[in-house]
A and B are shown apart, each in its own frame.
Chain A
Amino acid sequence: DVKVTQSSRYLVKRTGEKVFLECVQDMDHENMFWYRQDPGLGLRLIYFSYDVKMKEKGDIPEGYSVSREKKERFSLILESASTNQTSMYLCASTGDEAYGYTFGSGTRLTVV
């Protein structure tokens, strides 16, 4: 029973391309998050959203933007992909802080 779905598991894009990473959750959660995971750095928060059409910057928002037009969908946008954005991207949602986040399976993005 999949609860947080990321549209792509693996993605290869060229430098300068605009990249869309999609995330959908079916748990009616209000809070959604985008993280990137890099070796030795753990999970770093890019953007998060507490409500539809609402967004907040996380720790490393530079080079990224987000869109949340519907409650269940939170999109991460790389306006002009660069090689230092090669990473594992993880989407998460939460409705009950006691259990923290429910994560998607991740998208491994390679920018060449």
Chain B
Amino acid sequence: DQQVKQNSPSLSVQEGRISILNCDYTNSMFDYFLWYKKYPAEGPTFLISISSIKDKNEDGRFTVFLNKSAKHLSLHIVPSQPGDSAVYFCAASASDYGQNFVFGPGTRLSVLP
């Protein structure tokens, strides 16, 4: 049973518009969340994080929102650019579990010019 879910395997967005990638989790012990971006034939790279003491974290065009009661987080990319086309993984960890992160299955984002 997946503890971290990304229910949209793929998403297509027009350049300049907003991309919204969603992630749901089931383990209420998770208190730290990351988004990774992965291009083909490369390893995932860290994008943005959020701690459970916050409900929003912003870094340039990227904003992550956390809704603890719904066990849901989302990544917003505004404006979307063709270079954002990649697979995005949501990952979660719990302080009590050390530094192991549980990853979602990923969402493939395609930004169309």
Contacts and interface: CB of A to CB of B under 8 A. Distances in A.
Given A40-B9, A99-B46, 6 more contacts: A42-B4, A42-B6, A42-B104, A98-B49, A100-B91, A106-B41
Contacts of B36: 100, 103
B105 A101 contact: no
A100 B101 contact: yes
A42 B43 contact: no
6 contacts: A4-B43, A40-B105, A97-B32, A100-B34, A100-B101, A104-B43
Interface string B1-16: 0001010010000000
B103 interface: yes
Contacts, number: 56
Interface string B40-52: 0111111001000
Contacts of A85: none
B10 to A, nearest CB: 11
A99 to B, nearest CB: 5
Contacts of A94: 99
A103 B45 contact: yes
Interface residues of B, number: 24
A31 interface: yes
B95 to A, nearest CB: 9
Q: Is the interface of B mostly helix, strand, loop or mixed?
A: loop
A42 B99 contact: no
Contacts of B91: 43, 100
Nearest to B91: A100
Contacts of A4: 43
Given A31-B99, A90-B43, A106-B41, A97 B104 contact: no
B25 interface: no
Given A98-B49, A99-B49, A42 B42 contact: no
